[in-house]
Amino acid sequence: MAKRTLFGAVATLLVIAAAYANFFVAPTERTMGLIQRIFYFHAATAWAGEMVFFLCFVANLLYIWKRRDQYDWLGVACAEVGLACITIVLITGPIWAHPVWGIWWTWDARLTSTFVLWLLYVSYLLLRTLIEEPGRRALLSALFGVFAFLDVPLVFFSIRWWRTQHPAPVIMGGSGSGLDPIMSKVFFFNVFVMHLFAAFLIVERYILEKLRHDVDVLQREAGAQ
Amino acid sequence: MKNLESVFAAYIIGWGIFFVFFLSIVKRTSALRSEIERLKNSLPRQ
């Protein structure tokens, strides 16, 4: 418990440090101005969300292979945390887009595939509420989770494969892409902080799922007597 | 300071979502701990 509290406190302090860096360390971008500062939070949260969905995918595969409850708990923990990240991405993106593009939303490849990703993981969580039997629920949601993850590479490569309204990648985008060195440092600091914060949330959510399992076991014991 | 409100809105909404999500985990965890205590007390001691 003390270790988890310390983890949470460190993650929260780093979040505050990242916010400070976004507003006071990173230089103001020449053409977009102040609104570009959303990028550090928006893109770092998107990267963390995609990494969390990858972890969910690994947990789902491991559940299908080993059939251990712990992998099911990790899968659902990652699905919820990843969904929170992608929800933020889908809200902060349009807030940035409106002053820059003049529109809140457009159905281009990046935005559409991200929205589909959000729908897929909402479906993953809804599916779990529809199945009573724990083993069947874990297996079917793991199978669905593997299918849902197929959209993550599509989201990542959409701005590389197709011409989109969404900006081309500034990181790993090939020649002509790149960030100012200070902007780059601030961005990667945000990426680190968001991954750490996501890890903290996954730990907390995993413990919740374990407790739910303990309640099920106790209820069965109580029912048997 | 053009678009300052939009930048603040993005950060406040974003961190608000994380905060509400974390609170929901804390609330659900607390309810389950209480349920475990109740069930343990309802089972006869061995």
Query: Average of pLDDT values for A37-56?
Result: 97
- Kindly write down the DSSP assignment for every residue of A9-67, as one continuous string: HHHHHHHHHHHHIIIIISPPBTTTBGGGGHHHHHHHHHHHHHHHHHHHHHHHHHHHHH-
Asked whether residue A182 is assigned to any structural domain, the reply reads yes
pTM for this prediction: 0.93
> Taking a C-beta distance cutoff of 8 angstroms, is the pair A121, A83 a contact?
yes
Give me the residues paired with residue A29 across strands. A33
Count of domains observed in chain A: 1
Whether the predicted pLDDT of A46 surpasses 60? yes
- Angle, alpha carbons A130-A134-A137 (nearest 5°): 45
Rounded distance between C-alpha atoms, residue A38 and residue A95, angstroms = 9
Residues of chain A found within 8 Å of residue B44, distances taken between Cβ atoms: 225
Whether the predicted pLDDT of B10 surpasses 90? yes
Asked whether residue A38 is assigned to any structural domain, the reply reads yes
Asked whether residue A8 is assigned to any structural domain, the reply reads yes
- Say yes or no: A211 contacts chain B, CB-CB below 8 A: yes
Which among B21, B22, B40 is the nearest to A218, CB-wise? B40
Which is more confidently placed, A113 or A221?
Answer: A113
Q: What percent of chain A lies above the pLDDT cut of 70?
A: 98
- Cβ of A91 within 8 Å of Cβ of B3? The answer is no
Whether the predicted pLDDT of B24 surpasses 80? yes
Q: Which residue of A has its CA nearest to B40?
A: A218
Two tokens at A18?
Answer: 């990242």
Nearest in space to A167 (alpha carbons), one of A87, A70, A79, A100: A100
Whether the predicted pLDDT of B46 surpasses 60? no
- Say yes or no: B29 contacts chain A, CB-CB below 8 A: yes
Q: Which domain holds residue A51?
A: 2-219
Question: Quick one: DSSP state of residue A64?
Answer: H
Which among A84, A197, A215 is the nearest to B17, CB-wise? A84
Asked whether residue A155 is assigned to any structural domain, the reply reads yes
Asked whether residue A224 is assigned to any structural domain, the reply reads no
Asked whether residue A225 is assigned to any structural domain, the reply reads no
How close, in Å, is residue A7 to chain B by CA atoms? 14
User: What is the predicted pLDDT for the residue at A20?
Assistant: 96
Grade residue B45 by pLDDT with cuts at 50, 70 and 90.
low
